[in-house]
Structure 1
Amino acid sequence: MESVFAGRPGVTDVPVRRLGPGDVRDCLLLAIDRQWLPEEAKWRLLFEVGEVYGIDDPAGGLAGTTVLTRYGSGLAAISMVLVASRHGRMGLGRRLMLHALQQAGDATVFLTATQYGRGLYEKLGFETVGTVATHIGHLVPEPEDYKLDGVRPAHEGDLEAVLALDARASGAPRTRLITRLFTFAEQTRVVERGGAMVGFGAAWRRVDHVVAGPVVGESTAVAQALIAELVTGAHGQVRLDIDTRHAELTAWAVARGLTMAFDTALMVHGGPLPGDLDHLFTPVSLALG
């Protein structure tokens, strides 16, 4: 009798390897296979700030990927756990996750999970600690959203203060990621009060919309002002990934024209999460936190 794995020889024996920028094309093809958008800019950012791992398909291309992004020695994110549809139910996702967790060592690891991945992550020891609701639409700020004093475009001289603000909110140094955002993002804004930095935000473009994230601030009012400034003049739809703990910001986003598209579970391994998450209003992305 012909094996059910005919046409897929040897993939379960292929070791996980560290991928490089030359593998971006195969990462995009894998994303398309799983009906994800082929986001080349996002993948290249992940290669710059994280560690991309994969399993080669003996027939060509990639059978699976995952990304580990470290923030100092104590915190890390896992993302982009993708397995080719032709290699489903062969344990590749579990192998990739175990490899990433091994690389993370003693760090607290977090990820965001759809309903399809939660079962695997729970078996690996992840616990759900929150929910992130993704809102998408044409965001139209009101005049009062622009009245907060101290909002201005960010410049290179702000980087040290922005890094400190982000580290307090996220609980770890995200130096490489935040530094790269100053050139990766289409827009960056800061809020100053009394000579101190009290807010920072960036907006960057995906294939199909503009993401406002991260948005870090001392209050919801600061977050709203930053988002309004970041999306002014943006072409197309806007996306906000909002932790459901931020009910006031969620209500504001809906009142300004956004609609919840889906939600994901925020899950942690070796937690709890560090930092002051009440001041982290939106992540850079679901993949990076």
Structure 2
Amino acid sequence: MKPVAPSALPVRRLGLADLPHCLDLAQDRSWPREERKWRLLLENGEGFGIDAPDGGGLAGTVVLTRYGRTAAAVGMMLVASRHGGRGLGRRLLEHVLAEAGDATLFLCATEYGRPLYEKLGFETVGVIEARVGHFDAGDDPYGAGPGRDASRLAEPGRDLAALCALDIEVFGADRSRLLTRLFAFAEQVRVVERDGEITGYGAAWRSAGRLFVGPVVAEDDETARALITDLARDADTRIRIDLDHRRRELVSWIAGRGVPQSSTTSFMVHGGRALPGDRSRLVASFMSALG
């Protein structure tokens, strides 16, 4: 039978009914079967897929997560191993580019995927280090003390509006829908206050047997260390945190706490656009698929 051309394969919206097929596709590409993560992405974003022409589930997926009309993240770009090299990844990405409209698109790319993204107009603007290990809070952990701002557990009714206001300054885009979900998704959300105003926040959530620390937003490294320490100090498993490699003091600090580099990805933006907001205060992303 003659193979069907990629351009002839329809791209369709994915829903929660497709979750088992998404997990199978992830496993096929040696990714963990992260049901909670996929569920969040499919409920909060727009999943797109191509059905396998041989009837074997999904041939490829991608998820577009919009932040208002300003920016959007691209993630979970996967093509089944048996359908690789046929242009399905390009087909999916071109579909997302058309769907995104005028939004500034960004993504995290592996070395395997980066050439395709470059061909379609994405440019590397940074490098993200994924760090994985058992966090050691040490004998003198960051937290309450002279000259330090202690973090506390956030409360949705009390803190959500202020947290969203801080986040929109950092991202330059409205992520309130995602942050509202964060309180139910995460094990804990913590904030740091100074003079009655929230100056930083962070969250920790579980997937695939790891505790992910992110997002973390902070006005300085000391606030970031306090948040990370309080989020990770009691972890009963390895943590993962994704840091911009240019934050050398934080990278060195967390390496000294027993969390070495696991992998790196290229942070890419489409069309040479400047990202909105003040990302100097973005310490760690929520996850690579969300930024």
How far apart, CA to CA, are the structure 1 residues paired with 2:204 and 2:231? Answer: 6
| 2:262 is the counterpart of 1:261 | yes
- The AA in structure 2 aligned to 1:204 is W
What pairs with 1:72-111 in structure 2 (closer than 5 Å)? Answer: 72-111=68-107
* 1:167-207 deviation line (CA, Å, top 9, x unaligned): 11112111111110111001110001111000100000111
How far apart, CA to CA, are the structure 1 residues paired with 2:255 and 2:193? Answer: 27
Contact kept in structure 2, 1:54 and 1:66, CA below 8 Å: yes
- The AA in structure 1 aligned to 2:225 is Q
Kindly state the Cα deviation for residue 125 of structure 1 after the two structures are TM-superposed. 0.4
How far apart, CA to CA, are the structure 1 residues paired with 2:181 and 2:11? Answer: 27
SS in 2 for 1:198: strand
Kindly state the Cα deviation for residue 276 of structure 1 after the two structures are TM-superposed. 1.1
- The AA in structure 2 aligned to 1:52 is G
How many corresponding residue pairs?
284
How far apart, CA to CA, are the structure 1 residues paired with 2:289 and 2:8? Answer: 28
Counterpart position of 1:25: 20
Counterpart position of 1:218: 219
Contact kept in structure 2, 1:11 and 1:56, CA below 8 Å: no
The normalised TM-score by structure 2 is 0.95
Contact kept in structure 2, 1:126 and 1:269, CA below 8 Å: yes
- The AA in structure 2 aligned to 1:53 is F
Kindly state the Cα deviation for residue 225 of structure 1 after the two structures are TM-superposed. 0.4
SS in 2 for 1:183: helix
* 1:127-177 deviation line (CA, Å, top 9, x unaligned): 000000111101111324123334110001100000011111112111111
Counterpart position of 2:143: 146
Kindly state the Cα deviation for residue 11 of structure 1 after the two structures are TM-superposed. 6.4
SS in 2 for 1:115: coil
How far apart, CA to CA, are the structure 2 residues paired with 1:10 and 1:103? Answer: 22
Contact kept in structure 2, 1:11 and 1:57, CA below 8 Å: no
Kindly state the Cα deviation for residue 215 of structure 1 after the two structures are TM-superposed. 0.3
Contact kept in structure 1, 2:150 and 2:226, CA below 8 Å: no
What pairs with 1:250-289 in structure 2 (closer than 5 Å)? Answer: 250-270=251-271, 271-289=273-291
SS in 2 for 1:27: helix
Contact kept in structure 1, 2:134 and 2:237, CA below 8 Å: yes
How far apart, CA to CA, are the structure 2 residues paired with 1:113 and 1:149? Answer: 35
SS in 2 for 1:23: helix
- The AA in structure 1 aligned to 2:154 is A
How far apart, CA to CA, are the structure 1 residues paired with 2:122 and 2:9? Answer: 26
SS in 1 for 2:289: coil
Structure 2 alignment gaps of length 5 or more? none
Counterpart position of 2:155: 155
How far apart, CA to CA, are the structure 2 residues paired with 1:235 and 1:54? Answer: 36
* 1:17-45 deviation line (CA, Å, top 9, x unaligned): 00111000000000011110010000000
How far apart, CA to CA, are the structure 2 residues paired with 1:10 and 1:180? Answer: 39
How far apart, CA to CA, are the structure 2 residues paired with 1:210 and 1:108? Answer: 30
Q: Percent identity?
A: 53
1:14 to 9, 12, 25: 9
How far apart, CA to CA, are the structure 1 residues paired with 2:211 and 2:7? Answer: 38
Q: What is the RMSD computed on CA atoms of the aligned residues?
A: 1.3
SS in 1 for 2:260: strand
What pairs with 1:225-244 in structure 2 (closer than 5 Å)? Answer: 225-244=226-245
1:61 to 43, 50, 57: 57
The normalised TM-score by structure 1 is 0.95
SS in 1 for 2:181: helix
Counterpart position of 2:181: 180
* 1:68-102 deviation line (CA, Å, top 9, x unaligned): 00001010011111001111111000000000010
Counterpart position of 1:245: 246
- The AA in structure 1 aligned to 2:28 is D
